């Protein structure tokens, strides 16, 4: 699976999307407005998560960065023989 190109994966995802939309509409589980709204909100949440993940990653890595600075400072003050 790791060797499949991104284009092939994108085509499979698109075909899956078309299949899922048809299944929902044919079985009358959802209306057309629900399916279109789902696409809009999925796109919006995806783009929002891309914008937020940078700050979240920085926030969660702060303890690591602080400890790393402390260790570097301690090593520079007390060189090993």
Do 23 and 39 lie in a common domain?
Answer: no
Mind listing the pLDDT tens digit of every residue in the chain (81 residues)? 556 677 888 888 889 888 888 888 888 888 888 888 888 998 899 889 988 998 898 889 999 989 999 998 888 877 666
Range of the domain at 9: 1-30
Q: List, as one string, the DSSP characters of the chain.
A: -TTS-HHHHHHHHHHHHHHHHHHHHHTTSS-HHHHHHHHHHHHHHHHHHHHHHHHHHHHHHHHHHHHHHHHHHHHHHS---
Give the count of domains, the chain: 2
Do 78 and 48 lie in a common domain?
Answer: yes
Do 42 and 12 lie in a common domain?
Answer: no
The whole-model pTM stands at 0.53
Q: Return the CA Rg of the chain.
A: 24
Do 10 and 43 lie in a common domain?
Answer: no
Do 40 and 75 lie in a common domain?
Answer: yes
């Amino acid at each position: 699976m790791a060797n499949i190109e991104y284009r092939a994966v994108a085509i499979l995802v698109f075909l899956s999307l078309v299949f899922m939309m048809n299944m929902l509409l044919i079985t009358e589980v959802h209306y057309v407005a629900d399916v279109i709204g789902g696409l809009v909100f999925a796109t919006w949440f995806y783009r929002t998560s891309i914008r937020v993940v940078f700050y979240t990653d920085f926030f969660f890595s702060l303890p690591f960065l602080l400890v790393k600075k402390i260790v570097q400072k301690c090593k520079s003050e007390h060189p090993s023989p």
